[in-house]
Amino acid sequence: MGLWRSGSALPWHGRGHGFKSRQLHHFNNWGEKEKAMKVYDFKHIENKWKKIWENKKVFEAEPSATKPKCYVLEMFPYPSGYLHVGHLKNYTLGDVVARYKRMQGFNVLHPMGFDSFGLPAENAAIEKGIHPKKWTYDSIDYIRNQMKSVGLSYDFRREFATSDPTYYKWTQWLFLYLYNRNLAYQKEALVNFCPRCRTVLANEQVIDGGCWRCYSKVTKKSFRQWFLRITDYAEELLNDLDELKNWPEHVKTMQRNWIGKSYGTLVKFPVEGGGDIEIFTTRLDTIFGATFLVLSPEHPLTMELPATPIIKEEISSFVEKTLMTPEIEREAAEIPKEGVFLGRYAINPFTQEKIPIYVANYVLFEYGTGAIMGVPAHDSRDFDFANKYSLNIREVVVPETPDEFKDELFDGYGVLKDSGSFSGLTSSEAQVKMSEFLKERGLGELQVRYKLRDWLLSRQRYWGAPIPMIYCDKCGVVSVKEDDLPIMLPEEVDFVPKGSLSPLATSPDFLNTSCPVCGGHAQRETDTMDTFMCSSWYYLRFASPFTNKEPFKKEDIDYFLPVDHYIGGVEHAILHLLYSRFIVKALNDGGLLNFREPFLRLFTQGMVLKDGSAMSTSRGNVVMPETISKKYGIDTGRMYILFAAPPEREFEWKEEGVMGIFRFLNRVWRLVSPYKDFSLQNITSVSQNKEDEKIKRLTHKTVKKVTEDIENNFRFNTAIAALMEMVNGLNKSLEKEGVVSPGVLREALESLVLLISPFTPHLAEELWEILKHQKLIVEEKWPSYDETWIKEEMVEIPVQIDGKIRSKLTLIAGTSEEKVKELALREERVNKFLEGRIIKGIVVVPDKIISIHTEI
RNA sequence: GCCGGGGUGGCGGAAUUAGGCAGACGCAGCGGACUUAAAAUCCGCUGAGGGUAAACCUCGUGUGGGUUCGAUUCCCACCCCCGGCACCA
């Protein structure tokens, strides 16, 4: 080993000219061409290693009896044209994790595909006058190439698109599975309808209450639509969120709010003259203050109860007017409250008082029972309404601590007053006692309600999976036989929506069929499925995409699922993630899966902005990966995306930042690549001097830091910062007069290359080869670190006097408290600040700090 | 209104896990080396104020208070920003 030092075979050890010599060496080895380029040949390197990876099939995964699995998945894209660097962030994050886990010894499943059915693809096709199928598959070809050129480590054998018949066959199967388990059903749903065009309209197509084409007044009309019974799982979908420890809190909160569980009471108010009205309330304790009832416009009793034909007339026009208001407007909170008195009265079961019944625009039909009790003293909406129509306002709850409440309306919990025998109870006590009172008399009971509604699945659009159902004149609604799947989406169809129900209804070949039960004439369902149905199970198919006999092989699923790392945008926090959870639970109930949550760990990444807003084609602020590849190489692009900000946060794309990473990668290249002629193998790492120890410490500390940063919530930005520090430190040591033992240097350089490999895989492979390794770096083991090298030998301990750092002691780590005290008090500077003061106390935190506090 | 997240240099961001040297790393900026020159590369400086450019001192993590020898970190109150939900009874 002395040979290295004395023989000056290593030019970078020359006195004081370390860097210069290295450069010379570098040029001698690389010749004129390299000198002119002055940057590493990323183009050559990146193409070379992509080919090698592909030829060696290194990213293909199969179930294994011995190896532990890790399923890394990024949310698959809609194939609409191309990917820009904003999209790339998602895939790069996943790729780093997949590559890291692979080096950690996991059998990594890392697949990718395309969510190709649905409106985005269809609209784009309509705009460009190309068939959705051609447009979609052209996009897929383009995007697949982009993904490959980014060096994403996918098992491309497993790729599929949800619009492939071999895939949607099983989406249709899934529908039938749900139908057979009574989780799919048809029901009437209120939609906008133009009576003259005889068609449903989207909210956007209703302008000032009229049809956008014929200006007729639009009404609400019921249509039969397919729904999935997700509400059956409301309670479990809510409770299991608590088990998802590795999901971001905000996503779980959003799902909780969406499910919207509330505890309340169902109360029957007898109607004077017969019958009763059921209302739902979460504030039974305020019922003595209920001075009116309100029905929603859609409530059946609204048209039944009016006292006189004249009132009925008035109610009718009110209801019509209200329902005509587009949903968007009606749901806006600021709409003024309006209502009409029905001329009828109900009896408050607690006070036996006669209270008026109203219909009003602020009561929702879909929630609770579609009817409420009006308690104006304790609800701001009821308060507004009561003021407008001069209704009684009676206060029945007061705050426990009176100063909490001044003049405003009190809607909190407190103590009851003027509430008969319940007066004096707290709100929560009263709710229990009052619900018992109701139950004894058969007038009500405790109830749990959810905001979650069943999933409306039907779409009157062309580019989707046809719903595999048949309408027989004799047998009614009949499901397609499983053997007849897939029900192919016909290609020769005018797919542009023309206001008729569904484009598929215009294709007689598709529409007309025979009944699977009686063989008689029948018609197919012409609606297609919501695209979210396609994406609700794709992660299962990825684990088992090769079978055509079943949606997936159970043994594949049992091995690879659930997904260990799921990475995607927060825009899917509710829809896709909730639907997927529901589907998995439904499949588990049928014994097809052995788990009830699909995604163990979820990571939601922040967007990439350009010029202050999200990258998008319409804004024209996109940066293409191709541009970055050409100018700096895709490794630079990948690392920039990871370094610019913590991955969960959004960041502004800046060319200067990209250049910073490019400079860094070139520094890495210049640091490592000169060692190509010196086989560093078989030289063990033995530290011989101070500089060696420094480098060993730096190496092991960096390995630890990078490993922990990746493990600990994907802190790639600080991991890369640590790598930069390592490179800076190595350069400094090599430049200095003195020596670095080859074994120590070898360990450092190899660790560095291994550590950067998940971020910049192409560059890492090249450097690994230069360092004379036969194996691909993707097949290498992740480096480990030795704690004994992490601990510093010498520590710098600040001396704090009255909260201010006044001096520093450099000591051997582990110096005793007493010794630290003694040494600190011997310091001249310390004594200067202690002059004329009395020491009140000294606190020593070993190896960290010494703090002295004084008084005069 | 409710729920969640956040507020640190010119900028992106470190340090917040168990309280212990605030500003790691990078960008931008300034100065220098090399070069005929430019680019590239390398070296140095870069929170604010004072001080001779050194030593050194003071202030400083949204605001105000508290706990502590010590607070960006913990507690209380408030302000502001971002995201989600929103007439859900």
pLDDT value at A3 more than 50: no
Peptide bond into A798 cis (omega under 30): no
Query: Which nucleotide comes closest to A370 if you measure CA to C1'?
Result: B89
Listed as ranges, the nucleotides of chain B within 7 A of a protein C-beta are: 3-5, 12-15, 17, 20-22, 24-28, 39-43, 57-59, 69-71, 83-89
Contact criterion met (CB below 8 Å) for A46 and A762: yes
Distance CA A400, CA A403 (A): 9
Number of other residues whose CB lies within 10 A of the CB of residue A705: 21
A664 CB-to-strand B distance under 7 Å: yes
Which nucleotide's C1' atom has the smallest distance to the CA of A798?
B21
- pLDDT tens digit string along A59-70? 999 999 899 999
d(CA A736, CA A17): 8
pLDDT in tens, A312-336: 999 999 998 887 765 545 555 567 8
Strand nucleotide closest to residue A294 (CA to C1'): B89
- For A617, the 3-state DSSP assignment is coil
Is the shortest CB-to-strand distance from A718 to strand B under 7 Å?
yes
Interval A111-124 mean pLDDT? 85
Work out the average pLDDT over A764-793. Answer: 90
What is the pLDDT averaged over residues A587-608? 94
CA of A727 to C1' of B45 (A): 21
Is residue A551 within 8 Å of residue A509, measured between CB atoms? no
Would the Cβ of A798 be found within 7 angstroms of any atom in strand B? yes
A56 touches strand B (CB under 7 A): no
Q: Which tops the pLDDT comparison, A815 or A133?
A: A133
Question: Is A835 within 7 A of strand B by CB distance?
Answer: no
Strand B closer than 7 Å to the CB of A645? yes
Q: Which DSSP helix (H) or strand (E) runs through A448?
A: strand A444-449
Nucleotide nearest to A851 (CA to C1'): B69
Averaged pLDDT for residues A358-376 = 92
- Cβ A554 to strand B below 7 Å: no
Nucleotide nearest to A643 (CA to C1'): B26
Does the CB of A518 sit below 7 A from strand B? no
A27 CA from B30 C1′ (Å): 32
Q: How many residues does chain A have?
A: 856
Q: Tell how strand A199-201 and strand A184-194 pair up.
A: antiparallel
Protein A807 CA to nucleic acid B47 C1', in Å? 22
CA distance A53 to A416: 74
Q: Is there a contact between A494 and A461 (Cβ–Cβ < 8 Å)? A: no
Low-confidence winner among A457-466, A557-566, A683-692 (lowest mean pLDDT): A683-692
User: Confidence class of residue A37 from pLDDT cuts 50, 70 and 90?
Assistant: very low
* Nearest nucleotide, CA A807 to C1': B21
Closest CA to A162 of A561, A551, A464: A464
> In angstroms, how far is B40 C1' from A42 CA?
17
Q: How confident is the model at residue A201 (pLDDT cuts 50, 70, 90)?
A: low
The integer distance in angstroms from the CA atom of A724 to the C1' atom of B63 is 37
Q: Which helix or strand (DSSP H or E) is residue A602 part of? A: strand A602-605
Asked whether strand B has any atom less than 7 Å from the CB of A77, the reply is no
B50 C1' to A804 CA distance, Å: 18
pLDDT tens per residue across span A266-305 = 999 999 988 999 999 999 999 999 999 999 998 999 999 9
Check if residue A35 sits with its Cβ under 7 angstroms from strand B. Answer: no
- Average pLDDT along chain A: 85
At residue A48, the pLDDT reads 95
Per-residue flag: A372 CB under 7 A of strand B: yes
Instruction: Considering only CA atoms, name the residue closest to the C1' of nucleotide B56.
Output: A806
pLDDT at residue number A176 = 97
Beta strand A262-270 pairing with A444-449: antiparallel
CA at A452, C1' at B89: how many angstroms apart?
Answer: 16
Tell me the nt nearest to A372, Cα to C1': B89
* Total Cβ atoms within 10 A of residue A177: 19
- pLDDT value at A402 more than 90: no
In single-letter form, the type of residue at position A754 comes to L
Distance, angstroms, CA A126 to C1' B17?
53
Positions 585-614 of A with beta carbon below 7 A from strand B are none
Instruction: Answer for A444: CB within 7 Å of strand B.
Output: no
| Residue A646 CA distance to nucleotide B75 C1' (Å) | 29
- Euclidean distance between the first and the last CA atom of chain A, given in angstroms as a whole number: 61
Distance A799 CA to B60 C1' (A): 21
Within A 277-296, residues with CB less than 7 Å from strand B: 280-283, 296
Of A192-201, A263-272, A384-393, A662-671, minimum mean pLDDT range: A192-201
Percent of chain A whose pLDDT exceeds 70: 87
Distance in angstroms (rounded) separating the CA atoms of residues A735 and A691: 11
DSSP A784: -
Q: Which nucleotide is nearest to A335 (CA to C1')?
A: B87
Distance A653 CA to B45 C1' (A): 28
Question: With bands split at pLDDT 50, 70 and 90, how would you rate the model's confidence at A688?
Answer: low
Q: What is the identity of the amino acid at A250?
A: H
Alpha carbons A46 and A629: distance in angstroms, whole number: 9
pLDDT tens-digit series, residues A212-261: 666 666 666 677 889 999 999 999 999 999 888 889 888 998 899 889 89
Minimum-distance nucleotide, CA of A847 to C1': B20
How far, in Å, is the CA of A669 from the C1' of nucleotide B39? Answer: 20
pLDDT at A480: 95
Please return the burial class of A719, using the count of CB atoms within 10 Å of its CB with bins 0-12, 13-18 and 19+: buried
Return the SS3 of A597: coil
Q: How far is the CA of A764 from the C1' of B29 (A)?
A: 33
Cβ partners under 8 Å of residue A788, min gap 6: none
Residues 326-355 of A with CB under 7 A from strand B: 330-333, 335, 337
Its pTM stands at 0.88
Residues 3-32 of A with CB under 7 A from strand B: 19
A601/A73 Cα distance (integer angstroms): 10
Q: Report percent pLDDT > 90 for chain A.
A: 55
Amino acid, single-letter form, for residue A652: E
Residue A196 confidence (pLDDT): 67
Tell me the pLDDT tens digit for each residue of A404-463. 445 567 888 889 999 999 999 999 899 999 999 999 999 999 988 898 888 888 888 889
Q: Which pLDDT score is estimated for A145?
A: 96
Residue A800 CA and nucleotide B63 C1' are separated, in Å, by 28
Nucleotide nearest to A722 (CA to C1'): B25
Cα diameter, chain A: 113
Q: Measured in angstroms, what separates residue A412's CA from nucleotide B76's C1'?
A: 22
Q: Which residues fall within 8 angstroms of residue A217, CB to CB, at 6 or more apart?
A: A209, A210, A211, A324
ipTM of the complex: 0.94
Range with top average pLDDT, A161-165, A443-447, A697-701, A799-803 = A161-165
Least confident segment among A119-133, A501-515, A562-576, A753-767: A119-133
